[in-house]
Amino acid sequence: MNRFLMTTAAVLASMLVNYSTASADALVDEAKAKVAAASQKVDKWDGPTSGPKAAASKTIVYVAGDMRNGGILGVSDGIKEAAAVIGWNYRAIDGQGTVSGQAAGLAQAVALKPDAIIVGGSDAVQQKAALEAAAKQGIIIAGWHAGPIPGPMEDAHLFVNVTTNAMDVAEIAAMKAIADSDGKAGVVIFADSAYAIAIAKGRAMEAVIKKCSGCKVLEFQDTPLADTSTRVPQLTTTMLQKFGTKWTYSLAINDLYYDFMGPSLSSAGLKGDGAPFNISGGDGSESAYQRIRSGQYQAATVPEPLTMQGWQVVDELNRAFNKQPWSGYIPAIHLVTKDNIAFDGGDKNVFDPGNGYRDEYRKIWGK
């Protein structure tokens, strides 16, 4: 009887090991499939094809969270470009990377009495008081990365928040680490709790890595984006001393963290194309493209189509001016690595899809 029980226990243990291995292999296979799909060239328009003609004589103000941030700056350029095409007046105000600076920028924008204000890269809920003041004056408000979810944000008075799905961005960044490591990644995650979208992405990355039985989240670093230039160099050295070769992958909610990591990694004798492999879940800055192309301390980014999203913001505002609902368009996720960086505007160090979006929006607006 005892021998039977021992044999049964051994069989069950073996089954459990095999099940765990099968589950781990299945997750790695899933990760590799999703990474491959996200790496495909973006050359087909999947956005709106109908909508109202251009509203005339509008003034819009873009209140940027921080113009030093490549994503926020890229969207500003797209809005400016689209505003010129549709025939609107455009102005930008820099919030300079602080909550108080962003609040001051919004107050300045409200005082200008524009037709619309765009919140670019600031937390709309955090700036709710200023946005309420704008809404009371009948100013239409749109956002870019003003919250973690695309679409209307009624609690913060936003007609629409333009963004990719932050959870999908987080998943594909984490899946890239799982796929490339064959399910054995040792990960440090960088996020910023000052922004709802940032901390949501960071925690989503963490959750995906924790599903991988052979992977390990070494540390979750809540580090302000505004302080990356001063904090990241020493933080990188500290992480190397603490984890050594166990640190094989980094996941960050923005490329900005990697702007200041390379020198510390280089000083430690680590090669630019080796571990820790740095992967970013947005936004696809020019410096990130340069690092990926040259193989210097960044392996991948999940970029936002920044210029295209600028055009989308203008289109959504035009719908609001014409008392129509938002378009419902959420751009698909795209992963950029050294293997595909020449696609989709990579020669310009930016993700600019070759899907004809400018012509599509011109058709809608009658321009």
Instruction: Return the pLDDT at 5.
Output: 36
Asked whether residue 335 is assigned to any structural domain, the reply reads no
85-110 pLDDT, tens digit per residue, is 999 999 999 999 888 999 999 999 99
| Residue 233 DSSP class | H
Say what the pLDDT of residue 162 is.
97
- What per-residue confidence (pLDDT) applies to 6? 40
Q: What pTM does this model have?
A: 0.84
pLDDT digits (tens, 9 = 90+) for 134-193: 999 999 999 999 988 899 999 999 999 999 998 999 999 999 999 999 999 999 999 999
Q: What is the pLDDT of residue 115?
A: 98
> Based on the domain organization, do 145 and 235 belong to the same domain?
no
**Do 256 and 284 reside in the same domain of the chain?**
yes
User: Residue 27 domain-assigned?
Assistant: no
Of the pLDDT bands very low, low, confident and very high (cuts 50, 70, 90), residue 230 is very high
Report phi then psi at 90, rounded to 5.
Answer: -130, 140
**One domain, residues 209 and 282:** yes
Q: Is residue 289 part of a domain?
A: yes
Query: For residue 100, what is the domain's CATH number?
Result: 3.40.50.2300
Residue that terminates a domain, selected from 301, 320, 350: 301
Name the more confident of 209 and 195: 209
pLDDT computed for residue 19 by the predictor: 36
Whose tokens are 């924790």? That residue is 210
Asked if residue 292 and residue 182 are part of one domain, the reply reads yes
Mean of the pLDDT values across residues 254-267? Answer: 96
What per-residue confidence (pLDDT) applies to 209?
97
Same domain as 152, residue 207: no
| Model confidence at 276: pLDDT above 50 | yes
Pair 176, 208 in one domain: yes
Could you tell me if 272 and 309 lie in one domain? no
- pLDDT-based confidence at residue 303 (cuts at 50, 70, 90): very high
SS3 of the chain: helix, strand, coil, percent, to 5:
50, 15, 35
- The answer to whether residues 119 and 236 belong to one domain is no
Task: Verify that 173 and 289 share a domain, yes or no.
Answer: yes
pLDDT at 236 over 60: yes
b/e code 199-228 from CB counts within 10 Å (16+ = b): bbbbbbbbebbeebebbbbbbbbebbbbeb
Q: Is residue 193 part of a domain?
A: yes
Half-sphere exposure of 244 (CA within 13 A, CB side): 1
pLDDT at 9: 39
Overall number of domains in the chain = 2
Beta strands in the chain (DSSP E): 59-64, 89-94, 116-120, 140-144, 151-153, 158-162, 186-191, 216-222, 249-252, 277-280, 300-301, 336-337
At which residue do the structure tokens 């969270």 appear?
65
Same domain, 158 and 65: yes
Please report whether residue 50 resides in a domain. no
Give the model's pLDDT for residue 350. Answer: 85
In a domain, 45, yes or no: no
- Identify the weakest region by mean pLDDT among 12-16, 149-153, 350-354, 361-365: 12-16
Query: Residue 4 falls within a domain, yes or no?
Result: no
Distance of alpha carbon 25 from alpha carbon 18, whole angstroms: 10
At 13, the pLDDT band (50, 70, 90 cuts) reads very low
pLDDT at 194: 86
274 and 201 belong to one structural domain: yes
Average pLDDT of the residues of the chain: 91
Which residues form the domain of 78?
Answer: 59-163+305-330
**Pairwise CA distance, residues 127 & 346, whole Å:** 34
For residue 79, being part of any structural domain is answered with yes
What pLDDT does residue 11 have? Answer: 36
Residue written as token pair 């010129």: 84
> Is 142 found in the same domain as 119?
yes
pLDDT in tens, 308-360: 999 999 999 999 999 999 999 999 999 999 999 988 777 778 899 999 999 99
